[in-house]
Copies of this chain bind each other. A is one copy, B any other.
Amino acid sequence: MSIITVIGSGQMGSALAFPLCDNGHTVRLVGSPLDGEIIKRIALDTYHPTLKRTLPQGVEAYDLSMLEVALEGAELIVGGVSSFGLDWFKDDIIPRLPQGVPVLSVTKGMVDLEDGSLVSYPEVYEGSTDKRISFNAIGGPCTSYELADRDYTCVSFCGRDIEELEQIRALFATDYYNVGVSVDVRGVECAVAMKNAYALAVSLAIGMSYKREGRELEHYNSQAALFYQSVTEMRRLLKLCGGGEDNIALGAGDLYVTVFGGRTRKIGTLLGTGMPLDEALERLNGVTLESLVIAKRTNAAVKRLIAAGKVAPEDFPLLLHVGEILDGQRVNIPWKSFKM
């Protein structure tokens, strides 16, 4: 049995304790500077207040000040931060990590460079250090609540070394947590990062339907039309990122689960009713909207590529409209620009 140290005790990082502990491993959860209350509560009675689940036997909670103790003897380090914690993990944590112990990151998203290119977090981490650490990542459709409830889940672990990925997979795989491996880091990460902007886009149709009906009745033709357009544009983005085209299946699966997954759906639905962004944000006050940050980032990258003449705006009408909405415009889906 092994020790796995998870840095960042948010919902997804903590939910991974379920398959790990079911396999008999010890999971050391280390709180980020934002996780003080979570770690205190877990130390008290193993209840995770934002995941809203009691964590399984085998979980130990550590304050960040105890990081080096928590890393002692670890076979794997999980980077459990959201994309807001990217810089913190890169600047404050990686310098404190031991060499030779692989890192597996749960953070979804891409970083847009000045030239419009999008790179994955494992690549950002790699570029930030001279240490001999392999950076891997998890992609695929998985909400933390359902993983904690042991719903059947299929994900992909991506990294450069297939043998190491197989070893990491062996720590996690259970009958309900199915793990594939891929060396196409750019493809996997790009596919799952895209889905944030597009889950917002598909959710717009929910709000449009609510508004028209005057009650919470959903129509699906319009959601499906936006799902169609999303898959079409995601395939183009995948190509732009240099990811393998097979990854569109991961992206479509992740889009599906995200449309039903809570926060992105909520903001998309509100915006779909015609509510302006600031009012919608106020309505959801206090909720972390990582998806908006990722959507803006993807938009920024595509706009740079358009400015450089590398792609045409008519290839991304839905993404660009999401960008307009995030800039304050009201919803007005450009249906006629979708080429079925």
Q: Which residues of A contact B (CB under 8 A)?
A: 140-143, 146-147, 149, 151-156, 175, 178-182, 205, 208-209, 218-225, 227-229, 231-232, 235, 245-246, 248-250, 252-254, 256-257, 260-261, 333, 335-336, 338-340
Question: A340 contacts B180, CB within 8 Å?
Answer: yes
A143 near B221 (CB under 8 angstroms)? yes
Q: Is the CB of B178 within 8 A of A225?
A: yes
Which residues on the B side are within 8 Å of A232 (C-beta)? 246, 249
Among residues of B, the one whose C-beta sits closest to the C-beta of A141 is B224
Are A219's CB and B154's CB within 8 A?
A: no
Q: How far is the CB of A104 from chain B (nearest CB, A)?
A: 15
Chain B residues, CB < 8 A from A225: 141, 152-154, 178, 253
CA distance A245 to B246 in the complex (A): 11
- Given A152-B333, A227-B253, A231-B248; A221-B340 close (CB under 8 Å): no
Can you list the 6 inter-chain pairs with the closest CB atoms, starting with the nearest?
A: A180-B340, A228-B253, A141-B224, A224-B257, A154-B225, A152-B222
Chain B contacts for A254, CB-based, 8 A: 224
Asked if residues A146 and B340 are in contact (CB atoms below 8 Å), the reply is no
Contact residue among B175, B249, B256 (Cβ-Cβ distance under 8 Å from A223):
B256
**Can you offer 27 A-B residue contacts whose CB atoms are under 8 A?**
A141-B225, A143-B221, A146-B221, A149-B219, A151-B219, A151-B220, A152-B205, A152-B219, A152-B222, A153-B222, A154-B340, A156-B340, A178-B335, A178-B338, A178-B340, A179-B340, A181-B340, A220-B257, A220-B260, A223-B256, A227-B256, A228-B249, A229-B249, A231-B248, A231-B249, A235-B249, A250-B340
